[in-house]
Amino acid sequence: MSNPLLKPFDIAPFSQIESAHFLPAIKNGIAIANKEIDQIVSNPDAPSFSNTIEALEYSGELLGRVTSVFFNLNSAETNDEIQKIAQEASPLLSEFSNDIALNFDLFKRIEAVYQHREELQLSPEQRTLLTKRYRSFSRNGANLPEDKKSELRAIDKELSKLSLNFGENILAETNAFEMLLTNENDLDGLPEGAKEAAKAMANTRNKKGWLFTLDYPSFIPFVTYANNRALRKKMLLAFGAKGFHNDELDNQEHVLKIANLRHQRALILGYASHAHYILEERMAETPDKVFSFLNEILQKAKPAAEREFKQLEKFAKELDGIDRLEKWDGAYYTEKLKQKLFDLDDEKLKPYFKLENVIYGVFEVAHKLFGLQFRETDQVDTYHEEVKTYEVTNAKGNFVALLYADFHPRPGKRNGAWMTSYKTQMKKESHDIRPHVSIVCNFTKPTPSKPSLLTFNEVTTLFHEFGHALHGMLANTTYPGLSGTSVYWDFVELPSQILENWCYEKEALELFAKHYKTGETIPMELIEKIKESATFMEGMATLRQLSFGLLDMGWHAKDPSSITDVKTYEKTIFKETLLFPDIEENCMSTSFAHIFQGGYSAGYYSYKWAEVLDADAFEYFKENGIFSKKIAQKFRDHVLSKGGTENPMTLYKRFRGKEPKPEALLKRAGLIK
């Protein structure tokens, strides 16, 4: 019992955990969960909702807690030891998952309950759980003959290893690249904050000069502001070539193997492709509907994107005599043109977006909408000294959730931003077990002379991830498998993306956008410029997003066995959305972690899909006031608290009173009038 992960714990005991504790805890968790499954299967009583479906739903609790701690650390605070354990643990977990999914006797009990579902007087949530469990077994091979089950097991084991390797290679590539500049002239155009951060980075690595890396807070300012075109090119080429160097960190084989194994898996299960398999459990339902959706927006966005690109080309030529606009020029001249047209740039805005103020702002928005209170506490164990923790309570002072927040990049932390959880909300034995939720970001660090000042894009990122966190924190369901963000993946982005809208509203900005030195509230003229510039280059941004969705579907909606060259195939997919000349040394697929490491395979379209929902939903708020308690309560009652307890379109229509249409999104993006 010296292993802290094997003792009952409410809050994850990070300071007591050593890497060596994980594998024994995972093995122990698997053994306990297997016993729980055996008890369900060997129960002499006739299968019932309680002794089969509920028993299965509440099984594996220890394993779930341990693996959530482990895999969250593998993303936010990893090291060689943790990565090695992940390589050992993933096949074990894949095997365990298959042991359940392919357990014919267990499936027979579930099927028996499912066949009598009409007689059982189940609540909507219970009906959803029963259907979800039945489908997950039938969809994952419970009815297959033994030889096909063995094939499936082998594929799943291999896939779990490949996706881990894929992610490790990207992290290693990101960490390996450094650009050390010693000539101050090379920094021309860069904001003081970016220079100071680069100087601090060099100091931490005992180097003289200014050090730039592929971490977003370092990479984005460099390609956006550096006047030195050759150095922008160097940075962008390094960023775009992750996993594409034909070396030991190359991901091309991983991409081909993952795509082919997923396709083989789908065929074994009776589906035409991996996308057909995935989309059966999504709002979009079929690949045809996804292609139709993406192409409808493409038709509206492409003319606008091509006009914007010509405008950018003309501007770059007039300003600097650039004859051919390249990808390493995109962010740079977009920013310059934005400054010219709107007299607005991130450097003017950043002083108003001190991280602590933005945190206060997002908390205040949640308070005004949902009556939540956030109190920072240092009494909660964390995995790193930079992690902040907050107790979340409701208007009556009752405990709602525990929130972890981890804001800055580190060598053991993957790029990007995400929300996750350490403990899921559920109701068990008449107790409402409240969730422990975490948001992880990679924002600019404080420097010796300045606090952490966020770009406007980072502000919207924080609101986005906090929207996911609200979905987790305000969950109010009985079963953990339907709680919080356990919803269809093309619905999961609605709570996150809708919250971004408040960043553009005067009423919300005035709560928190205050100058870090003077305390002055952001001037009205800057708010107007933020709103005016919101649709700037939106056609190009939309085209870029669509290109990722089409690439994802390209890998997953057809048989990939004839694809021999990742880059060549990728170019055929990008043909319809290409604006900048292609860069031969770069490849998107080899670092497309969302679909080859994360859970977005055949699902990247969902960002755009959810934008349709969020534009339509926010229009409803605006009609009634952005802090309307009535609309917020409806959103909480029918979306945030409900998780995956009912079909998402049913929930959405209950909130909105009608189905969403793309017009609100296209209008907001300035693509139609």
DSSP string, 57-72: HTTTHHHHHHHHHHHH
Residue 388, strand partner residues: 405
Cα distance from N-terminal residue to C-terminal residue, the chain: 66
3-state secondary structure 267-302: HHCCCCCHHHHHHCCCCCCCHHHHHHHHHHHHHHHH
- State the Cα–Cα distance between residues 283 and 207, nearest whole angstrom: 52
Q: Are 337 and 315 in contact (CB under 8 A)?
A: yes
- State the Cα–Cα distance between residues 548 and 556, nearest whole angstrom: 12
Give the single-character DSSP code of 582.
P
- State the Cα–Cα distance between residues 460 and 467, nearest whole angstrom: 10
The total of other beta-carbon atoms located within 10 Å of residue 169's CB is 22
- State the Cα–Cα distance between residues 203 and 222, nearest whole angstrom: 18
> Token pair of 115, please?
């066949």
Q: Which of 173, 465, 538, 611 is catalytic?
A: 465
Which residue type occupies 320? D
The total of other beta-carbon atoms located within 10 Å of residue 115's CB is 11
Residue 403, strand partner residues: 390, 437
Q: Is 54 marked active-site?
A: no
- Which among 621, 601, 625, 624 is positioned nearest to 613, based on CA atoms? 621
- State the Cα–Cα distance between residues 299 and 222, nearest whole angstrom: 33
The total of other beta-carbon atoms located within 10 Å of residue 515's CB is 15
- State the Cα–Cα distance between residues 590 and 597, nearest whole angstrom: 11
DSSP string, 115-134: HTGGGS---HHHHHHHHHHH
- The CA-CA-CA angle for residues 148, 100, 86, to 5°, reads 95
Q: What is the largest CA-CA distance in the chain?
A: 82
- State the Cα–Cα distance between residues 461 and 670, nearest whole angstrom: 21
| Integer CA distances (angstroms), 44 to 52, 133, 224, 309, 536, in order | 12, 21, 67, 69, 66
- State the Cα–Cα distance between residues 655 and 564, nearest whole angstrom: 47
Residue 335, strand partner residues: none
Catalytic residue set: 465
